[in-house]
Amino acid sequence: MHKKNDFLGLGIDRPEQFGNSARRQEESNRSAPPVHDCCERRSQQRRKICLEQILIDQRSSPQGQSAGLHSVKPKCEGYIPFTKMQGLGNDFVVIDAVTHDISLSTESIHKISDRHFGVGCDQILVLEPPTIEQPNVDFTYRIFNADGSEAGQCGNGIRCLAKFVAEHGLAHKRDLAFATKSCKMQTHLENDGQITVTIGNPIFEPKDIPFVAEKRALRYNLPIADCGAGFGEIEIGAVSIGNPHAVVLLEGNIADYIVALGPLISNSKHFPERVNVNFMQVLNRKQIKLRVYERGSGETLACGSGACAAVVVGRLWGLLDSMVLVKLRGGDLLIKWDEHSDNIQMTGPAEQVFNGEIILAR
């Protein structure tokens, strides 16, 4: 048994000169949260990525005020939540700017996308409320590539957002309308959990893709810069599905071409905003194999808008029926389109992988 005045259980009397400070320390310890509670809370967080850029208050900007976004949202200080999602292996970090006041710098986008030092993803999707100029839209969203550039459309991404909205209770209906800076899309949650996306008509006019060509054509011979790759001209189809796509028809092994041709076509001077490159192999009139080299990200396991572009071009070239199963590295998509319809339909899965928090530098 310790002495009544045992100091720290060491078998000695408490030194009188330490008595007051020791009592104050004990009182302080009782009022402060236990250190182990903080550690336990932190250990439960799935992912935390240190960012050097503090998030900007988007709603206080002139653009936000002019759009009528005056409602006060909680501004994320220290941490912001995110959700990792994937559609056929095409993976995304989804950030909810509907319920939180969030904006990301280019540097932050680089770090989040980095698979070694960040969360890791093909693209970042920022979900936002509609502006007053979009009365028939439920949500808007922005798409950021891993290199920080912004895209205008993402087929796998929109399916993930539709699933995100449903699973996080942001809307309670099966049919939703989304808009990006370049297009508007409708989504429908199927009974089996898959998402059907209805996209507007494809765009073929070169200036609207954009693509540098003398006139509109079904096929183009694209000059390839001679970088020792041994290519002169490559026959392509060019189309926009809200973002620019080039389609290349191959008969051999696609893998032999994508590494060499992907970046050469994607960065061609004939595509002022660069282009997503789709390497298509026709199996029969109802099935194709497809691999996609995406601008700003490189090859991905799947690309929804690329699947749509390939079916549209293959249909116009007389190779495919109006309903086609597109076999991508990450899985299959069902695409429906014919020349007389007003839209393209895409059906496929989307899954939530995990939730986490991103640490902001202070």
What pLDDT does residue 37 have?
44
CA angle 327, 330, 335 (to 5 degrees): 40
Let me know if residue 136 belongs to a domain.
yes
What pLDDT does residue 38 have?
40
Let me know if residue 42 belongs to a domain.
no
From 154, 160, 183, 308, the catalytic residue: 154
Same structural domain for residues 66 and 181?
yes
The CA radius of gyration of the chain, in Å to the nearest whole number, is: 26
Longest dimension (CA), the chain: 98
What pTM did the predictor assign?
A: 0.76
Same structural domain for residues 170 and 239?
no
CB 49 within 8 A of CB 119: yes
Same structural domain for residues 176 and 65?
yes
Same structural domain for residues 154 and 262?
no
For 81-121, give the secondary structure using H, E and C. EEEEEEECCEEEEEEECCCCECCCCHHHHHHHHCCCCCCCC
Same structural domain for residues 180 and 265?
no
Let me know if residue 84 belongs to a domain.
yes
Residue 141 maps to which CATH number? 3.10.310.10
Same structural domain for residues 246 and 320?
yes
Sequential pLDDT tens for the chain (362 residues) = 444 444 334 344 444 443 444 444 444 444 444 434 444 444 343 333 333 332 333 333 333 333 333 344 555 555 778 999 999 999 999 999 999 888 788 888 988 998 998 899 999 999 999 988 888 999 999 999 988 899 888 999 999 999 999 999 999 999 999 999 888 999 999 999 999 999 989 999 999 999 999 999 999 999 987 555 566 899 999 999 999 999 999 987 778 788 889 999 999 999 999 999 999 999 999 999 999 999 988 999 999 999 999 999 999 999 999 999 999 999 999 999 988 887 999 999 999 999 998 775 64
Same structural domain for residues 196 and 218?
no
Let me know if residue 46 belongs to a domain.
no
Task: Reply yes or no on whether 76 is catalytic.
Answer: no
Same structural domain for residues 224 and 312?
yes
Tell me the pairing of strands 150-151 and 298-300: unpaired
Let me know if residue 165 belongs to a domain.
yes
Q: Which domain holds residue 334?
A: 206-341
What pLDDT does residue 73 have?
58
The number of beta carbons lying within 10 Å of the beta carbon of residue 25 is: 11
What pLDDT does residue 183 have?
87
What pLDDT does residue 157 have?
96
Same structural domain for residues 90 and 190?
yes
From 76, 160, 183, 303, the catalytic residue: 303
Let me know if residue 49 belongs to a domain.
no
What pLDDT does residue 77 have?
58
State how far the Cα of 126 lies from the Cα of 22, in Å rounded to an integer: 51
Let me know if residue 35 belongs to a domain.
no
What pLDDT does residue 231 have?
67
Task: Reply yes or no on whether 154 is catalytic.
Answer: yes
Same structural domain for residues 192 and 214?
no
Same structural domain for residues 182 and 283?
no
DSSP character for 122?
Answer: S
DSSP H/E element including 305: helix 304-316
DSSP H/E element including 64: helix 62-66
Let me know if residue 76 belongs to a domain.
yes
Number of compact structural domains in the chain = 2
Same structural domain for residues 256 and 194?
no
